[in-house]
Amino acid sequence: MRRKASLILLAFAVFFTAMSPLMRWYAFPRLAKIPPSQYQEAVLEAKNPTLVDYGTMTAKKVSKVTVVQTLKGNVEASEKIEKTDEDSSRDVVVWDALSYVQGPDGKMVSKVPERYIFDAHSQEPVHAAGEMVDGDAVKRQGIEFKWPFLTEKRDYEYFDAQARVTKPIHYKGTQTFRGVKVYYFEQTIPWTKVPMPKTMPIKGITPESLDKTGTTRWYTTIRKFWVEPTTGAPVYGEEIQKNELRGGTLLGDRDKVTVFAGHVKMREDYIKDTVDLVKSQRVLVLLMTSYLPWGFLGLGLLLLALSLWLEARSRRPGEPEPTAAPEPEPVNA
């Protein structure tokens, strides 16, 4: 009986020990992915920034500027791309993003739509029809909005939507943010000539009309992210950004006019919601990368030890060997 139990325990020990690496190296890369229907919203504010008045073409200090960023998963578009994708096994996510900027009076300053297409598992960009920023077709390189699962302590390539360029975003160290261990990343985009927004706040002023005046738009920013490494999700972000109009007849005798200059930070209520969401998602990722693999390994070793102990007890010396039943004596008539 003990030997039979020992063999059963040994079979379970082999099963759970084998499941440990399979969960981490086979199941996790296939199961951990961004859902195609995800919806996210964040509100950022710049207190006391400088903002241009397009009516007078002068820059002035205002109380605040609000930036509303939304990410909406487009399931229909992602399914369409998956059907035509060369790698038919790849899960594709399409995010329709919008950055909407409004002044202290609530009126629109600018709005820039994006379509970001990427691999649901690795967050690598997928190049397909519809990939764009503000209506301009782009071919992204590097990440945007989110880091890969199990983010590493290294620099990454990050796409800047305003400049339409990819530059390194540098790992600057490990910190604790609101009780969560995070990796701090920072990117600097030097002064770069950028396109005018397609949607302007004043009727009659269009990118085409500004181009005719010879006036150009320039932009620079210092971008900061605090990223939870297990999920690869930023829990907080800031930008120190400047925009200028330079040259052309529109500015008269001035060389440049500040369009916007300010320190943009995530609003407090959205920080709390983001941290709570990331904490819950972190547990799910750890379940597949740490808790279950190590748990299965420990259980397998425990069952193996118990199996060997039962096998040793079944062979313990001193116990009488079972004897065969005596044959019956013949009966004579």
Interior angle at CA 183, CA 179 and CA 189, nearest 5: 130
Report the distance separating Cα 295 and Cα 31, nearest Å.
Answer: 19
**What pLDDT, on the 0 to 100 scale, is given for residue 333?**
45
| Residue 155, pLDDT above cutoff 70 | yes
**What pLDDT, on the 0 to 100 scale, is given for residue 258?**
94
Enumerate the β-bridge partners of residue 61.
50
**What pLDDT, on the 0 to 100 scale, is given for residue 176?**
96
Helices (H) and strands (E) counted in the chain, each on its own, are 6, 14
**What pLDDT, on the 0 to 100 scale, is given for residue 253?**
83
Which long-range contacts (C-beta less than 8 Å, at least 24 apart) are formed by 18-25?
18/300, 19/296, 19/300, 20/293, 20/294, 20/296, 20/297, 20/300, 21/293, 23/288, 23/292, 23/293, 23/296, 24/288, 24/289, 24/293
**What is the average pLDDT across 60-76?**
95
Mean pLDDT of the chain: 88
- 311 Cβ contact list (under 8 Å, min separation 6): 2, 3, 6
| Residue 153, pLDDT above cutoff 80 | yes
- 52 Cβ contact list (under 8 Å, min separation 6): 58, 59, 245, 257, 258, 259, 260
Greater pLDDT, 90 or 137? 137
| Residue 324, pLDDT above cutoff 80 | no
Phi-psi region of 214 (alpha: psi -120 to 50; beta: other; left: phi over 0): left
Report CA-CA distances (Å) from 178 to 45, 244, 279, 284: 19, 35, 11, 20
Report CA-CA distances (Å) from 325 to 58, 116, 318, 328: 111, 80, 21, 9
| Residue 4, pLDDT above cutoff 60 | yes
Amino acid making up residue 170:
H
Tokens found for residue 316:
């313990």
Report the distance separating Cα 82 and Cα 90, nearest Å.
Answer: 7
Helix (H) / strand (E) containing 46: strand 39-47
> The dihedral of CA 197, 200, 206, 210: what is its sign?
negative
**What pLDDT, on the 0 to 100 scale, is given for residue 119?**
93
pLDDT in tens, 5-29: 777 877 888 888 888 888 888 888 8
Report the distance separating Cα 96 and Cα 307, nearest Å.
Answer: 56
pLDDT in tens, 200-216: 888 777 888 888 888 89
Q: Picking from 34-43, 228-237, 269-278, 297-306, which range would have the lowest pLDDT averaged per residue?
A: 297-306
Report the distance separating Cα 252 and Cα 143, nearest Å.
Answer: 40
Q: Which residue has the tokens 């594709």?
A: 92
Report the distance separating Cα 327 and Cα 259, nearest Å.
Answer: 108
Q: What band does 325 get if pLDDT is binned at 50, 70 and 90?
A: low
Three-state secondary structure string covering 237-298: EEEEEEEEEECCHHHCCCCEEEEEEEEEEECHHHHHHHHHHHHHHHHHHHHHHHHHHHHHHH
pTM for this predicted structure? 0.86
Q: Picking from 199-203, 228-232, 264-268, 297-301, which range would have the lowest pLDDT averaged per residue?
A: 199-203
**What is the average pLDDT across 161-188?**
96
Enumerate the β-bridge partners of residue 216.
246
**What pLDDT, on the 0 to 100 scale, is given for residue 319?**
54
